[in-house]
Amino acid sequence: MDDLQLLRGMRSDVGSAPQATLARGRKQLLSRIDAGTGGGMPDGGSRRRRTVTRRVLLASAAAAVLVGGIVVADVVAPAGKPGATAEAAEVLNNAAAAAIKASDPVVKPGQYLKVDTRAVYSHQVSRSNGTTVAWLATQDSQLYVPADKSGEWVWNRTPRVPTTFFGQEAKAEYQNQEAFREKNPDPREPRLDGIFRGRAGAFYDSPPQIMGTPLLEAIRTLPRDPRKLLDLIYEKNGDKGQTPESQALTTIADSLRTGVIPADLRAAMYKAAALIPGVVVADKQATLDGRKGIALGIHWAEGKIRQDIIIDPGTGLMIGERMVSLAALDGIPANTAFGWTAVKTSVVDSAP
Amino acid sequence: MNTDRDIIRRSRDRPAEFAALYDRHASVIYRYAARRAGDFVADDVTSETFLVAFECLDSFDERREDARPWLFGIATNLLRRHHRAEARLLKAAARSAPREAGADSTEGIAAQVDAAAAMAKLAKCLKAMPAIDRDTLLLYAWADLSYEGIADAMGVPVGTVRSRLNRARRILRTGLGPEPLDETENEHGRLAAAPRDA
């Protein structure tokens, strides 16, 4: 008998709920329903939904495991000048203009928009001796979106491989985990690589979402007015762990890295980013996955983390996004891109 | 079609429909809570779970058809308030062990003694492990959720569920030693030697 079988047997003699108990609970519920209360809990499920959204996003990169803090004062834009710094706003507004000018590639019937994504995830394992070890793993994927976006999408994900270990202990921990998993295969463990197919991008039981809205609907209906778009982003995000500003830029990064946001909405997102207080030009010569662009970032977690989006100023395309540690963070050294996604799009004639 | 999602959608306009979700899932939530913290707590947690669920309908992820991960997530949060009751149960179970399967056990009862000893060890391990690992493990083994379901219930990525489960299971296996628990006994020493905290 293995550990799980033993555990399943433990306290399995606990009986089912007495009918009277269930009836009483039902009555309580109905009287609450009748009372017509509908207010949400303060911390509600919004945070949970947010995490889920991030996870299910097509090329979800490093889901940060850190809880954000308050943005330090020196990264907030000077009073009376709402929005990003003038320099960052200029880059973003120029990128928006370039995005509209360099129109999207045309996908003819029978062809596919191919989105090549390289995603780097961080794994952090905290151990009972109080230490945390961390490593980065990379996963490449290709998403094929048919000309008729309501048709079948194809998503090819290659296995996730560890690419950077922060120290020998991290490597040993990873090897331990792998050895354990090999010895204890788990039939319920989901497949993370291989070819996935789904109508309108519904690879699991539902379509991908951005900002809590199914992707295709979001592309159709999100406001193209930057102020309205940003307000909607703030509203949808609600009160999340990060600051509202850093969360807003993260939402924009999450949306853009799907690779399927059309030029007009992309432009609106850049302009919306230009309205976010605290957005700065983080690096004029940023390199991500071998491509160069300008990194625009915002600090959070008391200035320990910066979320960047990296834009090719010439084409207005987003090269990718990254999360950078500015101080050592639970096993991750300072000044490390500990989660990033690089995105490339092209038009191809066939899908696997 | 009458999925959980359908019920939840309908109950936005006609709240009374929400009772159908209760009828469908209250008994499994009750049993899960009772296994973790006893009947008295289960009584409270079950009714509270559905009240909370009803009050935050918006927190249900509409991309899901099955509401169980959502409900178990709420129940798991509520159970945290009753950690003392759970700890008491586990402590009692850990103590109820007969002496370690001893030389004086006769053939007939040896197996029973072994099983009881294993349960006691399990209880001890469960009690000792971090709460998030215990939640993850029991959502898996007792609530029968998938990895995705646990990820939804706990609001963490699937990868995190995987590493928490691995860690929890290693704690179990280390604690259950030294008797080999499966066929791969020759490998057993390796696992037992693995860091407990990993």
Residues with Cβ < 8 Å from A75, sequence gap 6 or more?
Answer: A278, A280, A298, A299, A303
Q: Residues 135 to 194 of B: which have CB under 8 A from any A CB?
A: 137, 140-142, 146-148, 151-152, 155-160, 162-163, 165-167, 169-170, 172-173, 176, 181-182, 184, 187, 190-191, 194
- Residues linked to residue A132 through DSSP beta bridges, in sequence order: A126
CATH 1.10.150.120 correct for B1-81: no
Say which DSSP state A40 is in. Answer: P
Residues with Cβ < 8 Å from A34, sequence gap 6 or more?
Answer: none
The residue of A3, A24, A237 whose CB has the most chain B CBs within 10 angstroms, and thus the best one to mutate to test that interface, is A3
A154-168 mean pLDDT: 93
Question: 3-class SS at B187?
Answer: helix
Q: What is the pLDDT of residue B59?
A: 86
Q: What is the pLDDT of residue B102?
A: 44
Q: What is the pLDDT of residue A1?
A: 58
Partner-chain contact B35 A12, CB within 8 Å? yes
Partner-chain contact B16 A204, CB within 8 Å? no
Confidence bin at B192 (pLDDT 50/70/90): very low
CA distances from B56 to A91, A128, B20, B51, B65 (A): 41, 35, 16, 9, 17
B191 neighbourhood in chain A, CB within 8 Å: 180, 183
Residue A72 has pLDDT above 60, yes or no: no
How is chain B split into domains, by residue range?
A: 1-81
How many C-beta atoms lie closer than 10 Å to residue A191's C-beta?
7
Structure confidence by residue, pLDDT tens digits, A216-233: 999 999 999 999 999 999
Question: 3-class SS at A114?
Answer: strand
Confidence bin at A188 (pLDDT 50/70/90): confident
> What is the rounded CA–CA span in Å between residue A24 and residue A22?
5
Residue B101 has pLDDT above 80, yes or no: no
Is B77 part of the contact surface with chain A (CB cutoff 8 Å)? Answer: no
Please tell me the pTM assigned to this model.
Answer: 0.65
Q: Residues 27 to 66 of B: which have CB under 8 A from any A CB?
A: 27, 30-31, 34-35, 39, 42-43, 46-47, 50-52, 54-65
Q: What is the pLDDT of residue A58?
A: 29
Partner-chain contact B191 A4, CB within 8 Å? no
B170-177 mean pLDDT: 81
Give the closest of B54, B64, B198 to A173, CB-based. Answer: B198
Partner-chain contact A51 B156, CB within 8 Å? yes
